[in-house]
């Protein structure tokens, strides 16, 4: 699903929950989903620069689409902020921002560790292939020498 569509759907769920009187605790998942989708919309321009879809668009169309999506995401984020401020106050908003930054740092660290582990596994695989190649090369040389001396 496209990030903007996800953001709109999650934000609509938050607004509907507020209308029917859900408390902030029960809206947490919808708020988190909306916020994540909003971030995805803000970052989507960089990721989609080279997509086939964008190569078929004019520069103006791509710029306008990105601008509209980003502004919609910013508006939704502003409304989410107002919801949190109304239900939890400025302290709740600041705590949410701190937690969000912490989770972001943890995710980046986990991604970095996963990349490092994958690189190490590739390195071990290549070392194994190199050792196997060397063993086969030595065995081939021994066989060649022994066959040249008619020992095989």
- The reply to whether 58 falls in a domain is yes
Judge whether residue 135 has pLDDT over 60.
yes
- The reply to whether 122 falls in a domain is no
pLDDT of residue 45: 58
State the average pLDDT over residues 139-143: 95
- The reply to whether 125 falls in a domain is no
Distance CA 111, CA 38 (A): 21
pTM over 0.75: no
- The reply to whether 95 falls in a domain is yes
* pLDDT tens string 116-134: 999 999 999 999 999 999 9
Judge whether residue 51 has pLDDT over 80.
no
* pLDDT tens string 70-115: 888 888 888 888 877 887 788 888 887 888 888 889 989 999 999 9
Among 10, 85, 82, 81, CA closest to 41: 10
- The reply to whether 49 falls in a domain is yes
Domain count, the chain: 1
Domain hosting residue 87, numbered range? 3-116
What is the torsion angle, in degrees rounded to the nearest 10, for the CA atoms of residue 52, residue 55, residue 57 and residue 60? 140
pLDDT of residue 134: 97
- The reply to whether 63 falls in a domain is yes
* pLDDT tens string 11-28: 777 777 666 666 656 666
- The reply to whether 151 falls in a domain is no
**HSE of 91 in the Cβ direction (CA atoms, 13 Å)?**
1
- The reply to whether 138 falls in a domain is no
The helix (run of H) or strand (run of E) holding residue 48 is: none
């Amino acid at each position: 699903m496209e990030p903007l569509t996800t953001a709109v759907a999650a934000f609509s769920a938050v607004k509907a929950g507020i209308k029917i009187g859900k408390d902030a605790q029960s809206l947490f998942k919808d708020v988190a989903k909306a916020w994540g989708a909003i971030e995805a919309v803000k970052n989507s321009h960089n990721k989609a620069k080279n997509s086939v879809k964008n190569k078929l668009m004019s520069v103006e169309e791509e710029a306008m689409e990105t601008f509209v999506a980003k502004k919609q995401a910013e508006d939704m984020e502003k409304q989410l902020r107002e919801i949190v401020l109304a239900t939890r106050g400025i302290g709740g908003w600041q705590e949410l921002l701190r937690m969000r930054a912490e989770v972001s740092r943890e995710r980046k660290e986990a991604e970095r560790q996963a990349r490092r582990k994958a690189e190490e596994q590739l390195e071990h695989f290549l070392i194994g292939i190199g050792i196997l190649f060397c063993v086969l090369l030595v065995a081939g040389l021994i066989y060649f020498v022994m066959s040249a001396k008619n020992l095989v």
